[in-house]
Amino acid sequence: MTDPAFAVLLVAYGAPLTLEEVEPYLLDVRGGRSTPPTVVEELRARYAAIGGRSPLLDRTREQAAALAQRLGRSIPVIVGMRHWHPYIKDVLTQAAAQGVRRAVAVAMAPHYSRMSIGAYQRKIDEARGPIEIVTVTQWFDQKFFLDAVAERVRSALDHFPAEVRQRVPIVFTAHSLPQRILAEGDPYAEQLRASVAGVMRRINGHPHQFAFQSAGQSAEPWLGPDARAALEQLAASGERHVLICPIGFVADHLEVLYDVDIEYQRRATELGVHLERTASLNAAPLLIEALADLVLAAAQDRSWV
């Protein structure tokens, strides 16, 4: 890597790559506080159920490779994780050693919250060293992102019988956060609902709602409504076909592959509901187009291109 005009840093949450890494990963997530053994074992069992490791790093690297190909111009695209290897600080140190002096960072989560994207920003600021970095912190209304989600919804609806396809309810979901963020004026929930509205403008006529999933295990209240409860309410009202669209996630990882594909699917079977999920965006061409648009706009604002 020889003094490129700028590089791109894609940042994501991070996840263990083996079952043995689950406990130290949790130690990192919890800021050095130990995790009760029962919680460690429960999470380890969940990772075992999806194949023994999270695919998040693999999917993010695939996104990076596709973005590098789309950008061309010898622009390197690197991947850093907030809570596991390769850590943001390590990849930035390596990039600086290889001649990178400017970078556009993109958090691989479209919706801003101080608890999530704000934490990425702090990690980047702590680790930037000699690199000038501009961070794209929100892209919930990016045209190509919304087009990509709408495309996934249309494809998933094809899995339902033709006679019910036009009236299948869609439950859009995202990771829950502590409810106290609302009192702090955090825009997370509002941006999620704006994304849903943007997708629904591209898909006419479907009943839909938004719900939160994967709330943490703590005593404080978390954002609702709860996605599992939404599924149960739809079943109670007579619905026998439901589509879940995890709009808050752009890649396969535990909250999609376990919480939706295993836990919600199991509950749907108990309720007699045909449940489908939209395929994760991963390296979908429209998502890569969205990322390219975001990166080039940020670089142009700095007169780097």
The DSSP H or E segment spanning 97 is helix 88-97
- In the chain, what are the domain boundaries? 7-139+284-301, 143-277
Looking at the domain 143-277, which fold is it?
A: Rossmann fold (3.40.50)
In one-letter notation, the amino acid at residue 98 is Q
The long-range contacts involving 57-62, CB below 8 angstroms and separated by at least 24 positions, are 57/12, 57/14, 57/15, 57/17, 57/81, 57/84, 57/86, 59/251, 59/252, 59/253, 59/280, 59/282, 59/283, 60/10, 60/12, 60/108, 60/251, 62/282, 62/283
Work out the average pLDDT over 227-250: 98
CA 235/CA 201 separation, integer angstroms: 26
The helix (run of H) or strand (run of E) holding residue 287 is helix 285-301
Taking each helix axis as running N to C, give the angle between helix 22-29 and helix 37-49, from 0 to 180 degrees, rounded to the nearest 10. 120
Cβ neighbours of 54 (radius 10 Å): 28
The tens digit of pLDDT for each residue in 180-214 reads 999 999 999 999 999 999 999 999 878 999 999 99
Contact 68, 75 (CB under 8 A): yes
Q: What are phi and psi of 282, to 5 degrees?
A: 45, -120
Supply the pLDDT for residue 1. Answer: 41
pLDDT in tens, 22-64: 999 999 999 999 999 999 999 999 999 999 999 999 999 999 9
Q: Which helix (H) or strand (E) holds 11?
A: strand 7-12
Provide, rounded to the nearest whole percent, the portion of the chain with pLDDT above 70.
99
Eight-class DSSP state of 257:
I
| Tens of pLDDT, residues 131-187 | 999 999 999 999 999 999 999 999 999 999 999 999 999 999 999 999 999 999 999
Fold agreement between 7-139+284-301 and 143-277: yes
Task: Name the fold adopted by 7-139+284-301.
Answer: Rossmann fold (3.40.50)
With CA atoms as reference, report the closest residue to 39 among 31, 179, 47, 66.
47
- The Cα 282–Cα 287 span in angstroms is 8
